[in-house]
């Protein structure tokens, strides 16, 4: 019969627990699967982004031999950011282990490990959803806590910019949707200046996606494409319009929509280090000053050996270094 003494085995040390939670089944998430954010570990709990402003100006003509125009000093500023601590508690009661018998060639350690992995899988799922929620927050410019109201990070305030919004007017039949897409791209290009992108992506709520697809201007553009196949197909996984990919984004926990219904966000792709995720180390003695990992887990025996407490955590920092380059679109 399995015993809680098993937890004194090295199989349940910090390293093995971290390995277990990192190998737990991954919950599919669009932004995570797209690898839109570059992920890196860091050994500190805060990060600094140095910005160096550069402006373009016309060079005035001068007589030959005359002194040229002196460039203005480049302005630098350092912006501090602090990671978000996401701890999660759970545990295993002694009774859960008491009724477990070894089956076949399975050892007690393997049997109890199955119970631990089940608990870790649930915790990993919760963290995955939370990380995706914060990624979307960074895309939109404001990262919120789990309640959807408490601000954890306002990227517009941090970088001293404001959000750009464009009303696509999909509720107007004669709207030239292609022109609206180009207008949104121009807003992005004007902000990025000399920085080029490799493409454009629109992440749309269900209502925005449906209004876009069913708009007369869009339907007309695809009327003869593949003999009307576009109008019969499920376009939620993405389709091209005006050299822009439009995808329906499905993200919701309870009543919390990751993108408000009727909204969408146009994102420039391929902009260097625009979307970044930094992971700080856990607040354990064993992990201090080590390079951060996406997930951590640790266990501790309860008083009187009545069970085991399990803590999982992640310490992310979701950054969009150019929040004004993401255009909020409305129906």
Encode pLDDT of 269-305 as tens digits: 999 999 999 999 999 999 999 999 999 999 888 888 8
- In the block, tokens 């599919």 appear at 28
pTM over 0.75: yes
Q: Report residue 78: phi and psi, to 5°.
A: -110, 130
For residues 20-46, give the mean pLDDT: 81
pLDDT at 141: 97
Categorize the per-residue pLDDT at 110 as very low, low, confident or very high, splitting at 50, 70 and 90.
Answer: low
Contact 158, 79 (CB under 8 A): yes
Contact 83, 317 (CB under 8 A): yes
pLDDT at 75: 61
Categorize the per-residue pLDDT at 54 as very low, low, confident or very high, splitting at 50, 70 and 90.
Answer: very low
Contact 41, 292 (CB under 8 A): yes
- The residues facing 41 across adjacent strands are 279
For residues 258-267, give the mean pLDDT: 96
List helix spans (H) across the chain.
14-22, 30-34, 94-98, 108-140, 155-159, 177-192, 206-213, 216-221, 229-232
- In order of their start, the domains of the chain are 4-52+78-330 (3.90.1690)
pLDDT at 285: 93
DSSP state of 282: P
Measured between alpha carbons, how far is 110 from 2 in angstroms, rounded to an integer?
10
Is 321 or 233 the better-scoring residue by pLDDT?
Answer: 321
Q: Report residue 3: phi and psi, to 5°.
A: -130, 150
For residues 241-251, give the mean pLDDT: 92
Q: How far is CA 212 from CA 142, 185, 199, 241, 319, in A?
A: 25, 17, 19, 10, 29
């Amino acid at each position: 019969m399995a015993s809680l003494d098993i937890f004194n085995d090295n199989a349940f040390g910090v390293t093995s627990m971290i390995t277990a939670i990192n190998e737990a089944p991954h919950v599919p998430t669009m932004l995570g699967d797209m690898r839109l954010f570059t992920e890196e570990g860091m050994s500190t709990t805060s990060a600094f982004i140095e910005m160096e402003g550069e402006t373009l100006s016309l060079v005035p003509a001068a007589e030959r031999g005359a002194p040229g125009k002196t460039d203005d000093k480049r302005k630098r500023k350092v912006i501090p950011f602090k990671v978000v601590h996401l701890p999660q508690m759970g545990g295993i009661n002694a009774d859960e282990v008491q009724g477990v018998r070894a089956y076949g060639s399975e050892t007690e350690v393997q049997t109890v490990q199955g119970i631990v992995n089940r608990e870790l899988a649930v915790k990993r799922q919760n963290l995955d959803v939370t990380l995706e929620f914060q990624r979307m927050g960074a895309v939109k410019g404001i990262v919120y806590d789990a309640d959807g109201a408490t601000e954890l990070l306002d990227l517009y305030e941090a970088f001293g910019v404001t959000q750009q919004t464009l009303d696509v007017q999909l509720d107007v039949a004669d709207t030239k949707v292609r022109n609206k897409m180009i207008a949104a791209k121009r807003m992005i290009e004007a902000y990025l200046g000399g920085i080029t992108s490799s493409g454009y992506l629109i992440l749309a709520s269900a209502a925005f996606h449906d209004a876009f697809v069913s708009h007369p201007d869009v339907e007309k553009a695809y009327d003869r494409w593949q003999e009307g196949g576009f109008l019969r197909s499920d376009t939620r996984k993405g389709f091209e319009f005006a050299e822009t990919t439009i995808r329906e984004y499905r993200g919701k926990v309870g009543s919390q929509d990751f993108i408000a219904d009727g909204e969408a966000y146009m994102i420039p792709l391929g902009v260097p280090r625009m979307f970044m995720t930094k992971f700080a180390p856990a607040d354990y003695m064993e992990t201090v000053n080590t390079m951060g990992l996406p997930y951590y887990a640790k266990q501790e025996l309860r008083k009187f050996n009545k069970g085991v407490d399990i803590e999982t955590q992640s310490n992310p920092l979701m950054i969009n270094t150019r929040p004004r380059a993401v255009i909020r679109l409305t129906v």
